[in-house]
Structure 1
Amino acid sequence: MVQRLHFASALCPDGWHNDVRITVGEGRITAIDTGAPPSPDDEHHAIGLPGLGNLHSHAFQRGMAGLAERRGTSDDSFWTWREVMYRFLERMGPDELRAIAALAYVEMLETGFTRVGEFHYLHHDPAGTAYADPAEMSAAIAAAADESGIAMTLLPVFYAHGGFGGQAPNEGQRRFLNDLDSFARLRDHAARALGALPDAVLGLAPHSLRAATPEDLRGLEAMAGQNPIHIHIAEQVREVDDCLAWSGARPVEWLLANAPVDARWCLVHATHMMEQETRALAATGAVAGLCPITEANLGDGLFPAEDFARANGRWGVGSDSNVMIDASEELRLYEYGQRLTRRGRNLLAQGPGGSTGAALFGAAFDGGAVSLGGATGLRVGQAADLISLESNHPCLIGRNGDALLDGWIFAAGRAGVDCVWRRGAKVVSGGRHHARDTIVNRYRAVLPGLIA
């Protein structure tokens, strides 16, 4: 079946064009014609964009959004939030995981994310015992992706230790744990679980330098081959201090000196870096995986965005804890964090007169595509993963070109997204996913049993 989508204006790889007809066959773009008058056979839309990649998600945490917003008896931090997360997992099985992940993926699609990097570490049953199929929880994630329609880059997480230097894990981590041999088996089974998903990518993720020893990292790097490798790093000041005590080096400094970090790698957060680390990371071609909503929610700190941009560093955004899922909000908050600390405006725009929205969207699109291993964009041969914006939204009326991105990211937000296509299938219309009611109802059925 061939379909033709006509956009009054669309963002192509070489910039904005008017009257763009995109022809789709078998889920892929087969032709792009610019300056093409609309025809009666076309499906007509106003503003077209390529879909974004969400490079870092823990889908199950969507179910605990808002549950960690009560002050404890001592100072709250990432570490106290983590204890709430451990308790939330106590009753979760494959059915509950699928229900929660499906809702998260619906919300991602509704805001303009068309591929997700699922940093998946919930592997075992509540007692910490492997399922008969070691990738049963990965299969639940794959089923949620299939139901929602989102493209999947699955990143099974290797987690073996509770602290730097191979410290013993704690009881709350029992559901995450593997050694290299059992992790290889899990990953093999995960590959089979992904088999029915179009365009699926299988990478891997050492959870952090706390959870994987240097020997583990070497084994994982060999296991990954040319596929994506993601890792949490330098998210918290305490993590930096503990790494210094263990190794005499800061986390990013240590990783760059001891692992072959290149464009396969995504360093998630990388919040606490010195200037030399920032320049060195940029030079590797690796992607910095930034999650501004979650980083703000957890009180992590701010990534050195301007320094990284000056060093031509590559970055993308992810929804991480999924406390709020909104592609435009991730981009907006990334810029706003810099404005608050630098006391300036339009800090990440590319030079005088540059559009901040265009700079943010372009960088996040590139970083997401590279880090998730799924080539994308409005190009012939690529999967037809597209977004249309609502031209009648008050914040988009009268705008053209990059001003549309400024209006969407800084003003309209998720309400500015009209339709979303994944492999040419329209999964979102009028800002609403076609399966939202069914998926929300199942979520409502499972959540009370997890938070009672």
Structure 2
Amino acid sequence: MPTGFHFKQALTDQGWQQNVSVAVSDTGYFGTLVQDDNPNNYPEIAQPVVPGMPNLHSHSFQYAMAGLSEVRRNPVDSFWSWREKMYYFAHNVSPEDLHAITAKLYMELLKGGYTEIVEFHYLHNDLDGGYYATPEELSAAILSAATRTGLSLTHLPVFYAHANFGGVAPQDAQRRFINSREQYVRLIEALKSQKTGHNLGVAPHSLRAVTEEEMNWLLELRNDMLPDCPVHIHVAEQTKEVDDSIAHSGKRSVAALMDQAPVDKAWCLIHSTHLDDDEVAAIANSGATVGLCPLTESNLGDGIFRAVDFLAADGHFGIGSDSNICTQAMQELRTLEYSQRLLHRQRNILCSEQLPNVGSYLWQKAAQGGARAAGRAIGRIAAGHRADFVEVAFDQNGIMAAVSAEAVLDFHMFSGQKADISAVYVAGARVISDGQHPQQDAIDASYVSTMQRLAQKL
């Protein structure tokens, strides 16, 4: 691994800077950035460099469903009918299948500009719903795929106990997701004992799936076993959930969560699509990050997040690929901006006086919010942060030669082309070169073999 780099153009905390030299420690962290003519003779990177993007929400097994659930078999097709198909598919995935799917996904996410993945993992049990002899059997498939591909992982084992508010008994279709408290403790203990270098957190699935008493227990467990670790939860993705929450407690979903739990900067509220004014302010004031998954939310017909109001309240956000129908970070951000344009009937909405270029603003804010959600010093080209960065390639037609550094991300994000990412680095080590992964052929072959069998189940 190089001891440092010289960037001709880099997106830093000060915006786009030219001729930046930076040392990298043995553990893969940036030193102080210096603008100079590369007196240390570090390897020079001529192409524009941006911070690696954290992906703050993923269900890796769903990648194998991408593009295979776009046939209407219900007059009122929705998230809830899609969920039934997802449950059915989940019943057929073995640990070996999960490793093959996840390795392929994580390789593609690296090529799409992501350098950290937060895996919201609720596929715990055997095909019949029974516990594996080793409680971490399926989690281990995730961890090994991350290690194999070089994508840094924050693993969130999900506690999932009920089908709806009020402790409704789980459905048989949810049998692979359900854990007892004792089994969940065993899972956390087993994962803590593995020295993989990956990060660990906890995740109550949703207010639908976890009672208030179980939430209190889970947070006490976190304080005892994983103090200060990230806490992620699905909330307010669907209007039905908000309506059910009101029927159960008299409060909307986010308002109920704020009453139940000490939500702070360690928390990430996934989706938060349907909010009233008080909830927008409450999340922003708590310091929590909102986890937006624009392409999945569009695919499932969830709704549009109140981004303008939330950012006006100084809220934090990041992006996730969720159901993994797309592996390109720039496409998630483009969809986020376009959703706001459609909602407000304006252009160039998500930007600031300091960063008036929409592409640069979205990338920087999402990278920093994703880092916050992962609980790691990532998402910035800055001293003390892990040396995760992405080389954005010059376009083959030479148009970018006439484009300013500030417009590089605008060009790639909004030109309608697939972003051409030439190289990706995690902790200073290059994991993608010329758009390719060193284990690409083997990972592809394993994935194709797995999909030839699993696709028949869809």
TM-score normalised by structure 1 residue count: 0.95
Shift of 1:201: 1.3
Shift of the 248–47 alpha-carbon distance from structure 1 to 2, 3 Å rule, reads same
Separation of aligned partners in 1, 2:12 and 2:209: 41
1:9 aligned counterpart, secondary structure: strand
Match of 2:211 in 1: 213
Separation of aligned partners in 2, 1:413 and 1:209: 39
Separation of aligned partners in 1, 2:377 and 2:263: 20
Shift of the 136–413 alpha-carbon distance from structure 1 to 2, 3 Å rule, reads farther
Match of 1:94 in 2: 95
**2:412 aligned with 1:408:** yes
Match of 2:392 in 1: 389
Please identify, of 397-406 and 53-62, the stretch whose mean Cα deviation from structure 2 is larger. Answer: 397-406
**1:76-115 → structure 2 map (5 Å cutoff):** 76-115=77-116
Please give the per-residue CA displacement for 1:422-441, whole angstroms capped at 9, x wherever unaligned. Answer: 12221111222222221111
Match of 2:21 in 1: 21
Match of 1:51 in 2: 52
Separation of aligned partners in 1, 2:329 and 2:46: 21
Please identify, of 381-390 and 232-241, the stretch whose mean Cα deviation from structure 2 is larger. Answer: 381-390
1:152 aligned counterpart, secondary structure: strand
Please identify, of 372-381 and 95-104, the stretch whose mean Cα deviation from structure 2 is larger. Answer: 372-381
Contact 1:329 / 1:413 at 8 angstroms: preserved in 2? no
Match of 1:233 in 2: 235
Shift of 1:8: 1.1
**2:278 aligned with 1:276:** yes
Match of 2:169 in 1: 168
Please give the per-residue CA displacement for 1:294-324, whole angstroms capped at 9, x wherever unaligned. Answer: 0000000000111111111110000000011
Please identify, of 150-159 and 386-395, the stretch whose mean Cα deviation from structure 2 is larger. Answer: 386-395
Shift of 1:404: 1.5
**2:418 aligned with 1:417:** no
Shift of 1:42: 2.0
Separation of aligned partners in 1, 2:417 and 2:54: 17
Match of 1:69 in 2: 70
Separation of aligned partners in 1, 2:332 and 2:193: 32
Shift of 1:255: 0.6
Please identify, of 178-187 and 132-141, the stretch whose mean Cα deviation from structure 2 is larger. Answer: 178-187
Contact 2:165 / 2:209 at 8 angstroms: preserved in 1? yes
Separation of aligned partners in 2, 1:43 and 1:37: 8
**2:381 aligned with 1:378:** yes
Please give the per-residue CA displacement for 1:116-135, whole angstroms capped at 9, x wherever unaligned. Answer: 00000000110111111101
User: Which residue identity is paired with 2:208?
Assistant: R
Please give the per-residue CA displacement for 1:120-163, whole angstroms capped at 9, x wherever unaligned. Answer: 00001101111111011111100000011001000100000010
Please give the per-residue CA displacement for 1:336-378, whole angstroms capped at 9, x wherever unaligned. Answer: 0011121110111114981111221121011100000111122
**2:402 aligned with 1:398:** yes
Separation of aligned partners in 2, 1:117 and 1:14: 27
Give unmatched runs, 5+ long, in structure 1: none
Shift of the 416–223 alpha-carbon distance from structure 1 to 2, 3 Å rule, reads same
Separation of aligned partners in 1, 2:156 and 2:355: 39
Match of 2:289 in 1: 287
Separation of aligned partners in 1, 2:129 and 2:391: 44
Separation of aligned partners in 2, 1:381 and 1:288: 24
Shift of the 339–67 alpha-carbon distance from structure 1 to 2, 3 Å rule, reads same
Contact 1:6 / 1:38 at 8 angstroms: preserved in 2? no
**2:343 aligned with 1:345:** no
2:284 aligned counterpart, secondary structure: helix
Match of 2:126 in 1: 125
Shift of the 359–98 alpha-carbon distance from structure 1 to 2, 3 Å rule, reads same
**2:185 aligned with 1:184:** yes
Shift of 1:418: 1.2
Please give the per-residue CA displacement for 1:207-242, whole angstroms capped at 9, x wherever unaligned. Answer: 001100001111112222311000000001111111
Match of 1:312 in 2: 314
* Count of residue correspondences: 449
User: Which residue identity is paired with 1:380?
Assistant: A
Please identify, of 7-16 and 341-350, the stretch whose mean Cα deviation from structure 2 is larger. Answer: 7-16
Separation of aligned partners in 1, 2:41 and 2:30: 20
Match of 1:440 in 2: 444
Shift of 1:412: 6.4
2:410 aligned counterpart, secondary structure: helix
- Of 238, 245, 248, the residue aligned with 2:247 is 245
Contact 2:58 / 2:117 at 8 angstroms: preserved in 1? yes
Separation of aligned partners in 1, 2:164 and 2:229: 26
Separation of aligned partners in 1, 2:325 and 2:47: 31
Contact 1:328 / 1:413 at 8 angstroms: preserved in 2? no
**1:329-368 → structure 2 map (5 Å cutoff):** 329-351=331-353, 354-368=356-370
Shift of 1:414: 4.3
Pairwise CA RMSD = 1.7
Match of 1:42 in 2: 43
Q: Percent identity?
A: 43
Please give the per-residue CA displacement for 1:19-68, whole angstroms capped at 9, x wherever unaligned. Answer: 12233342333453322247766243321111010000001100011121
Contact 2:2 / 2:428 at 8 angstroms: preserved in 1? no
User: Which residue identity is paired with 2:313?
Assistant: A
**2:61 aligned with 1:60:** yes
Shift of the 17–351 alpha-carbon distance from structure 1 to 2, 3 Å rule, reads closer
Please give the per-residue CA displacement for 1:48-104, whole angstroms capped at 9, x wherever unaligned. Answer: 111010000001100011121110133110011011111111221111001001111
TM-score normalised by structure 2 residue count: 0.94
